[in-house]
Amino acid sequence: MIKKENILESARKVLTEQGINKLSLRKIAAETGCAAPSIYYYFKNKQEIVAGLWEEVAPSLAQSLASSQDKHHAYSEFWLARPDDFRLFVTNAEYFPFVAKTDAYQALKSQLGSSLHQLNGQLMEQIFTQGH
């Protein structure tokens, strides 16, 4: 029987090897070794899978922020080291609404407040124009 963790691991592998635009339930199922409908037991769609991936990354981000005096700098450094994840979780219009609904994102939003949007804008400029 497949597990939620196996699906998320397979989704991460498909993303790493083929990119955001190639992510599909069919490819995730093939990588997991199950039929695509089996995934629906855990996730309604690929957007929920991406939100699940976010929930795996979010604790590392929270730890970076907690251990830093300068939370803005820690936030920026975290994403500059993971530009593909930033593109997936923060700037992708298809997936961000699902990420934004998670408890982890809401906690991040309350921790950084209104500066979160400014930081994301600065990061977008850095990542998209400077080739990070």
pLDDT tens digit sequence for 72-123 = 999 999 999 999 999 999 999 999 999 999 999 999 999 999 999 999 999 9
Structure pTM?
0.89
3-state secondary structure of 68: coil
Find all residues with CB under 8 Å of 54, minimum gap 6, and list them. Answer: 89, 99, 102, 104, 105
Q: Phi first, then psi: what are they for 104, rounded to 5°?
A: -65, -40
What are the structure tokens assigned to 12, written together? 């991460």
Query: 64 near 77, Cβ under 8 Å?
Result: yes
The domains of the chain, with CATH numbers, are: 1-43 (1.10.10.60), 46-132 (no CATH)
Nearest Cα to Cα of residue 105 among 117, 121, 123, 118: 117
pLDDT tens-digit readout, 67-80: 999 999 999 999 99
